[in-house]
Amino acid sequence: MSGVAIFVLGVLTGSGALWLVRRREVSGGTPEEGRDPSREPPVAEPDSRRWRPPYVSGEPLREWAASVGRGVVRDATADGVVAGTAARIADELSPAMRQALLPEADPAERGRPVACPPRGQGTIGVTPPEAIALADWLRAKLTPEELQELIEDVTLCDEWIGNGATMSPCALQGDDQICMAYEAQPFACRPTLSTLLAAQLREESGVPESVRGFTDAHAETVAHGMRDGLREGLERAGLDATTYELHSALRRALSRPDAAEAWARGEDLFERCRIVGAGGARPAAGLLQIRPTPTVPPPTAVRPTR
């Protein structure tokens, strides 16, 4: 069992605080002990960029996550909004969310791609920085032929959703149900995928399935908090904080190679895009896959075998 990461979730006696303890069994050694949260210094907003959640749950955890989102936007806009601001916001918040969703997992484990559930994730919402950064990522990673095919698929999905399709199409999903833009995937997709990854890690490590409710609640709280903080930070900076439907916003961002510049100078870039609720998604009614799309896995991640 040497070197096997064990994820244990419990409730601290008397405090109701959620805690995660990562025990690494070492031959001839003893498991690491969990830290006493009562001895931990309070996490102030300027320090929350450490991206490691405190040992709390519920509203305190959500507020910590929101402070991370606000802090990322505050820092990115401190010297004004420029063409690179949208990418900076997304690029900095992305690893923060990935780490906070599974704080005790190894970096290589957190980056492991997992497939979307068969029924999809419903209608996904994105903020302008997410849509712009995603479009830039796709332009950089795909060949011109692949990008053109993707634009056609995104357009088709946008039209289907606009016409009231009851299914949940996703132009980014590959034929193996793994997102072709896993590194830059929308933040609204991540809590579901992190809980699926946590389930894989529990199974591999022998942790009982009974802890699932705690890990799932942690992921939802962190993700909602960070997205709330992102929107609050954008509002404070005088920027568009609306949550738009993924395909509607991505179609617009892909149609404008100068999208980052236009957004930075205050153009209402997503004026005609569909708006979704603040939560970022509606329940899935089933996944409608367009056609097999090119899958671009993270360069250092190992795709799991299924």
pLDDT for residue 272 is more than 80: yes
Q: Would 38 be classed as within a structural domain?
A: no
Q: Would 302 be classed as within a structural domain?
A: no
Q: Would 39 be classed as within a structural domain?
A: no
Q: Would 191 be classed as within a structural domain?
A: yes
Q: Would 26 be classed as within a structural domain?
A: yes
pLDDT for residue 161 is more than 70: yes
pLDDT for residue 220 is more than 60: yes
Instruction: Please give the average per-residue pLDDT across 77-83, as a whole number.
Output: 95
pLDDT for residue 100 is more than 70: yes
Q: Would 23 be classed as within a structural domain?
A: yes
Instruction: Please give the average per-residue pLDDT across 170-185, as a whole number.
Output: 89
Print the domain residue range for 71: 5-32+44-288
Q: Would 207 be classed as within a structural domain?
A: yes
Q: Residue 174 has what pLDDT?
A: 83
Q: Residue 162 has what pLDDT?
A: 83
pLDDT digits (tens, 9 = 90+) for 141-158: 999 999 999 999 999 999
Instruction: Please give the average per-residue pLDDT across 181-192, as a whole number.
Output: 92
**Total tally of structural domains belonging to the chain:** 1
Q: Residue 291 has what pLDDT?
A: 38
pLDDT digits (tens, 9 = 90+) for 35-63: 343 333 333 333 334 567 777 889 999 99
Mean pLDDT, the chain, whole residue set:
76
pLDDT for residue 209 is more than 70: no
How many CA atoms does the CB half-sphere of 299 hold within 13 Å? 1
pLDDT for residue 110 is more than 80: yes
Per-residue pLDDT band at 68 (split at 50, 70, 90)? very high
| R_g of the chain, CA atoms, integer Å | 20
Instruction: Please give the average per-residue pLDDT across 21-27, as a whole number.
Output: 29
- pTM > 0.85: no
Q: Would 295 be classed as within a structural domain?
A: no
